[in-house]
Structure 1
Amino acid sequence: MEKKLIAIVPAAGIGARAAGPGAPLPLPKQYRPLKGEPMLRRAVKALLGEPRIGQVRVAVAPGDAWVEAALSGLSRTVWSACGGPSRADTVRAAIEDAGLGPGDWVLVHDAARPGLPAEALARLIDQCLALDAGGLLALPVADTVKRAAAAGPQAASGGAAAPRVGESVPRDGLWLAQTPQMFPAGPLLDALRRAAAESAEITDEASALERLGVRPLLVPGSARNFKVTWPEDFDLMEKWL
């Protein structure tokens, strides 16, 4: 039997940083419009452009009031209110909800990365299938990296002082992780379950597998595939779309 390839989009959070410090959040970040369409819809449509993806499954928070309208009319797309308190919880629940075989492939993609280019997505799938190995889109670090020193004294005005440089970090071999991240469903689900049982901090799917000794492929991504995080990112993303 041919292995299935599905995409999961965890969309149970609200993205508070996108509102700016102290600003109210009118609706969760993933539903804010970009050129007239909710960001979540654009992220899902980027995945649907790849014919090898049999289905896109969107995992939202219980009581989500926006997802049905945001995804209306999209083919090969379903949504489920199985979202949990963290990204790892949501992805784990979404894989369980999908009822996949252990050898089926899962691509996990951020709802806040609507600029995913078709060629980058195809490159990830091609590499993972050809080498029968999980991997993720990523970009080599181009800028000089600084690690901040421990917090210093308060500024004379009473406000917090700007942090000071503790050291420069060599950027050789450093990559910035993107999504999608593509892995066989069985090993990914096992890694997420074990991380939850051990209360391990998981920031992305690759990190869950890395804890178990897996070394995922680093597949070159795209600058267009950046994550919309801060208020100014919405304007920048609209320029790319």
Structure 2
Amino acid sequence: MTQYHVLIPCAGSGSRMKSASPKQYLPLNGKPILRHAIDIFEAMPIVSQIFIVIAAADAYWSDELLQGCHKTKVLPCGGESRAASVYQGLQALVSQVDSEDWVLVHDAARPGIDAEIVQRLIDAMQAQDIGGLLALPLADTLKRADATKHVSATIPREALWQAQTPQMFKIGMLEQALASCLERQPTDEAQAMEWAGYSPKLVLGDLKNLKITYPHDIAVVSALMQATQSEQDTQ
């Protein structure tokens, strides 16, 4: 029986946050940013295991962060890039799972994920699909800048989507795709699969599944999450 596993690369330093610790460990609504995503996946019966890929020398990691977790394991094999961390994480878990199982790779700094969004991604996969990712159609007009930060072109937004996570693929296929293109530094798993000749499926994501990158993003994501919770409480 096919199983679903989650892999969360968590070896980045988050330099754009300009914080004392990596952004995934910063507090948000009463707990570390990373713990929000872990709690969602821990509570989903369809998820078999959760793997957190951290740097071997991560001085900020504490096992207390996983207090009360039952499906989550830590893999101290993170690399210098997101792609390297995912690839090395897949290599570390390959002996524990089936290569035909699905892996959902999720950003440590996307705490706004919820079970409904994840299930939407899982349910969207048909027998002919090789995998897919959550994404949002672009709503804003895009401008290309020149070297002096003046507009050099307007880019049509039709058919353009903003990628989110989780990104979901068969473990064996994703490992092979990443192995063949690590030196090209893919920005996400979908790009690695594209370079391998596949066409990942786009599945509608959610605005609150925003990735925390800059300091002001914490307040934005916190507000979106609280608004969603308030809606659920009144239903």
1:86 aligns with one of 81, 84, 88: 81
- List per-residue Cα deviations over 1:97-153 (Å, max 9, x = no partner): 11232211100000000001221110100112555430000000000010112x13x
Once superposed, which parts of structure 1, at least 4 consecutive aligned residues long, lie more than 6 Å away?
none
- How large is the Cα RMSD of the aligned pairs? 1.3
Cα 1:131–1:53, aligned 2, differ >3 Å: closer, same or farther?
farther
Cα 1:58–1:129, aligned 2, differ >3 Å: closer, same or farther?
farther
The aligned counterpart of 1:135 is 132
1:59 aligns with one of 53, 60, 68: 53
> Does 186-195 or 63-72 show the bigger shift?
63-72
Alignment of 1:168-207 (within 5 A): 168-196=154-182, 199-207=183-191
Are 1:222 and 2:194 counterparts? no
Structure-2 separation of matches of 1:46 and 1:226: 16
Letter in 2 for 1:228: I
Cα contact 1:50–1:122 (8 A) shared by 2 = no
The aligned counterpart of 2:228 is none
- List per-residue Cα deviations over 1:15-63 (Å, max 9, x = no partner): 11112xxxxx311110000012010111211222322110110000112
Q: What is the deviation of 1:67? A: 3.8
Letter in 2 for 1:27: S
The aligned counterpart of 2:11 is 12
Q: What is the deviation of 1:172? A: 0.5
The aligned counterpart of 2:107 is 110
SS in structure 2 at match of 1:111: coil
Structure-2 separation of matches of 1:128 and 1:18: 35
Cα contact 1:117–1:222 (8 A) shared by 2 = no
TM norm structure 2: 0.91
Cα contact 1:107–1:183 (8 A) shared by 2 = yes
Kindly name which structure, 1 or 2, has the bigger radius of gyration based on alpha carbons.
Answer: 1
Letter in 1 for 2:171: A
How many residues align? The count is: 222
> Does 123-132 or 74-83 show the bigger shift?
123-132
Cα contact 1:56–1:76 (8 A) shared by 2 = yes
The aligned counterpart of 1:125 is 122
Letter in 1 for 2:17: A
TM norm structure 1: 0.88
Gaps of 5+ in 1: 20-24, 153-162
Letter in 2 for 1:191: A
Alignment of 1:152-171 (within 5 A): 152=148, 163-171=149-157
Q: What is the deviation of 1:184? A: 0.2
